[in-house]
Amino acid sequence: MKTSIFGIGYVGAVTAACLAKDGHHVIAVDTDPVKVMCLAKGRSPIVEKDLGDYLAEGVKAGRIKATLSAAEAIENSDMSLICVGTPSRADGSLDLSYVEAVCREIGTLLKSKSAYHTIVLRSTMVPGSAHGVCKPALEKSSGKKAGEGFGFGNNPEFLRESSAIFDYYHPPKIVVGADDDKTASLIMSIYDGIDAPRVTTEIAIAEGVKYADNAWHAMKVGFANEMGNILKAHGVDSHQVMDIFCLDTKLNISKAYLKPGFAFGGSCLPKDVRAIRAAANSKNIKTPIFDALLEANELQVNRAVSMIDKIGSKKIALLGLSFKAGTDDLRESPLVTLANHLLNKGYDLKIYDPNIWHAREQEGANQKYIKEKLSHISSCLVEKSDDMKGSDVFVIGNPTKDFATIVMTLTNDNTPVIDLVRLNPDLEKRAGYDGICW
């Protein structure tokens, strides 16, 4: 395929070199004459393992050209990959002026081009940027409509500096966002021969994937460093601890706990986060990440309260009180915290949780806890799901399977349903449905 690449930085130069290596013809465009001169001579404009060799090979084979002329690039290519920078502004937001300017320039050139051309955003941008900034710029300057007059999509990169060539050919996944199947297939085709999971999705979701990746990587570095500082202060080898930690691919390095939803609770997580903070404080070590964990957890409970407040109805049915399904454990359950907030605000609350109802009737630690610590909440418990009839708002608190059937039986399509766990896709089709963070 004949491709043009706008921006000869880390992403653009590596992408150009690898596309040429795979047999594609590439025209690289930049406003910096030094970068253009380097590429034209087969030299790398940056320090990156193997990149110089790949570029030299591409230029020698006639598959890589470099130019200052956007018109030359658009005229002689079928697909353009935008790889220009998206630096931070002073307030932390992205400066999309370079991307927008390139889109306007490409759009102006497409106005007089009769052949179908596809534009692919490879620059890192927050969700909504493609449709909010780039697509309007392209359509306004070209006079054409995306998906009809030109192809439009995005293809986030997952390249690490110093191993970018290796990462290009061994990616964790290939993600393509597009509004139409033709564009998605065309973009995905440039990766023929690369063995990796392939995902075609909506443009905004593809944008979001890149940010989830980078934020998670930053979180991992920060977590490991914070944990390491605490362990060192207590005379413990942090590398040995984390080596053993990483052996757990069921809970630690896995999908576990990475589904957006409600706050964490139970007898372990809140207590142990507080304990590790206290251990750090005893050694005068600051723990901003662990501090934020507890703050974020509290904010998620407050978010649920705000969603209920916004509806404006007073009769609330809460399905689930234990911190997770299949247990009667109420220790530090965020649903107990939520119930307390609602009662303090004067809501008429009914709570259905068969595990808790039975625990209340049986002798044991939970019965004692309910009677002594949660007597005000205990009076809100109902024995049967039918006892929640007449409630104005239904809140799904934990993923007990029966809750979906109960909600669909007791409500109509317009009844407000606030889902804290994303229980059932059929519920999401209802007009009154709202998820806490989806």
Catalytic residues: 268
Q: Please, are residues 159 and 209 in contact by the beta-carbon 8 Å criterion?
A: no
Sheet holding 315-319, edge to edge: 348-352, 315-319, 393-396, 417-419, 433-435
Residue 95, helix vs strand vs coil: coil
What does each C-alpha distance from 7 to 66, 69, 122, 271, 379 come to in angstroms? Answer: 11, 12, 10, 50, 65
The one-character DSSP state at 130 is: I
Q: Please name the residue ranges forming H helices in 190-287.
A: 203-233, 238-245, 269-281
Place of tokens 């910096």: 32
Among 188, 194, 187, which Cα is nearest to 168's? 194
Q: Please, are residues 187 and 177 in contact by the beta-carbon 8 Å criterion?
A: no
Amino acid (one-letter) located at 347: Y
What does each C-alpha distance from 75 to 26, 112, 347 come to in angstroms? Answer: 12, 10, 66
Question: CA–CA separation, 42 vs 61, rounded Å?
Answer: 10
Place of tokens 């024995």: 383
What are the structure tokens assigned to 372, written together? 């002594």
What does each C-alpha distance from 211 to 158, 223, 415 come to in angstroms? Answer: 11, 18, 34
Question: CA–CA separation, 19 vs 22, rounded Å?
Answer: 5
Among 103, 112, 62, which Cα is nearest to 80's? 103
Three-state SS annotation for 275-302: HHHHHHHCCCCCCHHHHHHHHHHHHHHH
What are the structure tokens assigned to 336, written together? 């107990």
Q: Residue 401: which residues within 8 A CB-CB, separation 6 or more?
A: 325
Q: Please name the residue ranges forming H helices in 22-134.
A: 33-40, 51-60, 70-75, 97-110, 129
Amino acid (one-letter) located at 39: L
Question: CA–CA separation, 319 vs 105, rounded Å?
Answer: 55
